[in-house]
Amino acid sequence: MGGAGVAVADDATASYWNPAAYGFFHTDKDDEYGKRDWSASLNAGLGVETHEDIGDEINKILAFDYSLLSTGQISADRVSDFIQIINDLKGFNENSNRAASLVADTAFAVQYGHFGIGGYVLGDISAKGDLDLVNIAPVNTGVTGTNLITQLSTGSNLNGGVSVPAGDFFFSAAEKQNLVNSISVLNGWNTTTATDFVQAMDFGLAQAQAGGASVPAGISGDITGLAQIASDAQTGGSFADNTSRLLFKGIGLLEVPFTYGVGLTENLAIGTNLKYMRARVYNTPVQIFNTDLTTALEKAKNDYEDSQNFGVDVGLLYRLGNAFRFGIVGRNLNSPEFDMKKLLSDDKDHLTEEAQVRAGIAVKPLSFLTLTLDVDLTKNDTNISSDYKSQLVSGGLEVNVFKVLNLRAGAYKNISEADIGVVYTAGLGVNLYLVNFDLGAAIASESSAIDSNSIPKEARVEAAFSMLF
């Protein structure tokens, strides 16, 4: 139902959605709460997310043969590739929200009367690029500290070790002069170095086109962009020294909640979780170039900090018979902190599970139909970047067919960010007397292109088995 559960959870899973439901369990009232003496639930789920245009950018970066940049001078017909890859790396770095995330959960919860205990394992790991735009010299000189402007303005370095011939090849003389004029004023460049650089670019693009390669539109802007990168970097090594990396950041969290709820009145209940929390926090780099990616990922998997803390959740639930419910829940109200390795200069030495507040309503206009709506009242932090927030609006419906089959549909959207769009959900539940089976899935309306395949920007599956008494 779009993940809207604050006002509808009526079994052991309420310890997650809203512990106040426990205050209505095991009473004399003849409804789904009052008749619930005890229940148990086991569930697991998995999801992936891609943010911004990370799929397109990864395609561009992975399509390039980097060995051409670390084993020798570049042949003229690959100059256009060199221009493109440097500008793609620059573009990747310009958006800190380009990331891919993996989320997973598994949980077991037991409720007996007004009390409950459970075990929740929640995982959320994101990966994004931190790309090196200093060590980008086209030749492996074996010496760090190479002046990039000198490297790029030496025609032989961009023509397989042979001097670039004079003449106009891809650009006209006027176009080349315009490029020289725009580049020569950059820091570290002068008219001579800019002229040599533009001449090498001109010859290289002509050779690439003669070999059947297509030269992207706007290539003159990319040439100027490459010159700007060299102006900013000035000195650095070759691609053999490049330190571009993927940064993995996230948490694997075990929560063991001890739940208690109490009815303040017949229609108002309060509940709380006191949670033991143990976290495994990752903040790990993986080199992209000149490394065995499988080995690097295996090493990253074992690079983490373990620590423990406790958390406090509090919920309220109000109802008017079976027709209307309103709930609000605050999670991790004490903002527990967990140890984390510092990777970047602006990193903290801990990761904080910030307090979150979520409200929900449920309306039952017909005995077989339930409508739900949840809203995050707080903007929640994510592992993607300090700028990327999560604030979900979720809604859905459930249709009960002959008390045996529950059909569900819904949607949710992060109203703080626009990159993923609306995510649609659907699910079903099968009620076999005291045993329930549930299955749900979610898929985003927006898609990304990865390796020429279109995939949704977000997709999730969830399955659960429960027993109700």
Exposure of 217 by Cβ count < 10 A (0-12 exposed, 13-18 middle, 19+ buried)?
exposed
Tell me whether residue 198 is exposed, middle or buried, using C-beta atoms within 10 angstroms of its C-beta: 0 to 12, 13 to 18, 19 or more: buried
* C-alpha span between 228 and 187 (Å, rounded): 8
Instruction: Determine the 3-state secondary structure of 302 from DSSP.
Output: coil
CA distance 156 to 160: 6
Q: Smallest Cα–Cα separation from 277: which of 340, 332, 220, 341?
A: 332
Name the token pair of 18.
Answer: 């809203």
216: which 2 tokens?
Answer: 């992207």
Distance in angstroms (rounded) separating the CA atoms of residues 376 and 463 = 24
Distance CA 188, CA 236 (A): 14
Among 57, 3, 46, which Cα is nearest to 426's?
A: 3
Residue 67 neighbours by CB under 8 Å, 6+ apart? none
CB 286 within 8 A of CB 249: no
Helix (H, G, I), strand (E, B) or coil at 209: helix
Per-residue model confidence (pLDDT) at position 198: 96
Enumerate the β-bridge partners of residue 114.
Answer: none
**Distances, alpha carbon 347 to alpha carbons 129, 344, 385, in Å:** 16, 5, 11
Element (H, E) at 159: none
Res 66: pLDDT = 67
Structure token pair of residue 100:
């891919």
Of 276, 369, 264, residue with least CA distance to 317? 264
CATH architecture, range 14-50+100-130+243-468 = Beta Barrel (2.40)
pLDDT for res 71: 57
As a whole number of angstroms, the distance between CA 275 and CA 87 comes to 48
CB distance 420 to 49 below 8 Å: yes
Other Cβ atoms within 10 Å of 149 Cβ, number: 23
Domain boundaries, the chain: 14-50+100-130+243-468, 57-90+133-241
Cβ atoms of 101 and 383 closer than 8 Å: yes
Q: Which residues pair with 257 in a beta bridge?
A: 275
**pLDDT at residue 224, as a whole number:** 94
Quick check: 303 and 284 in contact, CB under 8 A?
yes
Q: In tens digits, what is the pLDDT along the chain, a chain of 469 residues?
A: 999 999 999 999 999 999 999 999 998 887 888 888 999 999 999 999 988 877 777 776 666 666 666 556 788 888 888 888 888 777 777 777 888 899 999 999 999 999 999 999 999 999 888 888 888 877 666 655 678 888 888 888 888 888 899 999 999 999 999 999 999 999 999 999 999 999 999 999 999 999 888 888 889 999 999 999 999 888 777 777 788 888 888 999 999 999 999 999 999 999 999 999 999 999 988 887 766 667 777 777 888 999 999 999 999 999 998 899 999 999 999 999 999 998 777 778 899 999 999 999 999 999 999 999 999 999 999 888 878 999 999 999 999 999 899 999 999 999 999 889 999 999 999 999 889 999 999 999 998 877 667 889 999 999 999 998 8
Question: Going by DSSP bridges, is the β-strand pair 268-287/245-263 parallel, antiparallel, or unpaired?
Answer: antiparallel
Per DSSP bridges, beta strands 350-352 and 337-339 are: antiparallel
Q: How far apart are CA 351 and CA 335, in angstroms?
A: 10
Question: What six digits make up the tokens of 428?
Answer: 């079903």
Q: Nearest CA to 247 among 325, 336, 343?
A: 343
Q: Compute how many other C-beta atoms are within 10 angstroms of the C-beta atom of residue 92.
A: 21
pTM assigned to the model: 0.84
Residue 172: strand, helix, or coil: coil
Q: In 29-171, which ranges are E strands?
A: 38-51, 99-112, 115-130, 146-147
CA distance 220 to 317: 62
Q: How confident is the model at residue 315, as a pLDDT?
A: 98
Q: How far is residue 95's CA from residue 128's CA, in Å, rounded to a whole number? A: 10
Query: With the C-alpha atoms ordered 345, 351, 354, 360, is the resulting torsion angle positive or negative?
Result: positive
